[in-house]
Amino acid sequence: MHIGPHHLNNNLVVAPMAGVTDRPFRQLCKRLGAGMAVSEMVASDPRLRATHKSTRRADHRGEVDPISVQILGADPQLMAQAAKHNVEQGAQIIDINMGCPAKKVCNVAAGSALMKDEELVRRILDAVVGAVDVPVTLKIRTGWDQQHRNAVRVARIAQSAGVRALAVHGRTRACGFTGEAEYATIAAVKSQVSIPVIANGDIDSPEKAKRVLDHTCADAIMIGRAAQGKPWIFRDIAHYLATGETPPPPPVSEVCRVLIDHLHELHAFYGDELGVRIARKHICWYTKELAGSAAFRESMNRLETAQEQVAAVSGFFMRLAQRNERLSYGEELAA
């Protein structure tokens, strides 16, 4: 799959997720099989660029190409300026957020709220595409609500503006993340445009990935929440798409190794104090299906130092290994 001049290793993309797809997570997913990862959204308001949070989000040092940065806003000129700024900071692809359903985003007419105003969509896309010499991509939803599914019209606007790829989440803004994603609208979008279309929403297994690709004829799929605590899902999907065989779950020893490496990268990226706090949610995601993890998580969340956190995770997995060295992640365990 190509996005402009960039050739992706495969058609598996990490969805942008606020508070999740930081540089350590993007790098980890790429190592475990993702062809591309999109950054956390960066606000277009120039007053926010100097904050520590924005500075970290613009840190792409050592990241595997292509570097895709998502920008958020509702003012065409500010969005164009934000695109230029992020390209200067190393972005090789600019992604525009018109898919976030969060109230704090939609209340300022950004994210998926923009789909209500197709003329503003056109103005934003024209401004951003005209401002940078790197590919511009777009993420949308199927529409505002079930009575107003306008993804096909927005897709045509995007293609006319010069957008190089389009990701479509199979829910409306009104759905949030509730209910089941629907893929008929994504299939309709794909049938109406020639740019690459990326299907997103509820893709949580290799088999589901194959079904969505077959149903929508999409060029790629985008994985979000299903990669939290299971970043190897990209490797598993790639294997299934290539062979038709479902790979076994990773052994607990590998889960431990991946998690410990992830912790070290988080601590190094954020510093020990903030890194420990941010790592807690990742530890919960990695361990939530393992026996005894509820008590472990409760005690782990009280730890304050990076060393204690790493030691606690190592000890938890060591105890699992001692009980059954052949134990595989995802097996039903006795508490």
pTM for the predicted model, two decimal places: 0.92
Q: Domain 252-323's class?
A: mainly alpha
Q: What does the pLDDT look like over 13-38, one tens digit per residue?
A: 999 998 999 999 999 999 999 999 99
Confidence of residue 65 (pLDDT cuts 50, 70, 90): very high
Instruction: Tell me what pLDDT residue 230 has.
Output: 97
Q: What does the pLDDT look like over 70-96, one tens digit per residue?
A: 999 999 999 999 999 999 999 999 999
Single-letter code of the amino acid located at 44: S
Q: What does the pLDDT look like over 124-182, one tens digit per residue?
A: 999 999 999 999 999 999 998 788 899 999 999 999 999 999 999 999 878 878 889 99
Return the half-sphere exposure (C-beta side, CA atoms, 13 A cut-off) of residue 203.
Answer: 31
Domain boundaries, the chain: 2-243, 252-323
Under DSSP, the state recorded for 115 is G
CATH, domain range 2-243: 3.20.20.70
Confidence of residue 334 (pLDDT cuts 50, 70, 90): very low
State the catalytic residue, choosing from 29, 100, 175, 256. Answer: 100
Residue 67 has pLDDT above 70, yes or no: yes
Burial of residue 21, with CB atoms counted within 10 A of its CB: 0-12 exposed, 13-18 middle, 19 or more buried: buried
Q: Confirm whether 100 is a catalytic residue.
A: yes
Single-letter code of the amino acid located at 293: S
- pLDDT (average), residues 254-282: 96
Q: What does the pLDDT look like over 176-190, one tens digit per residue?
A: 788 899 999 999 999
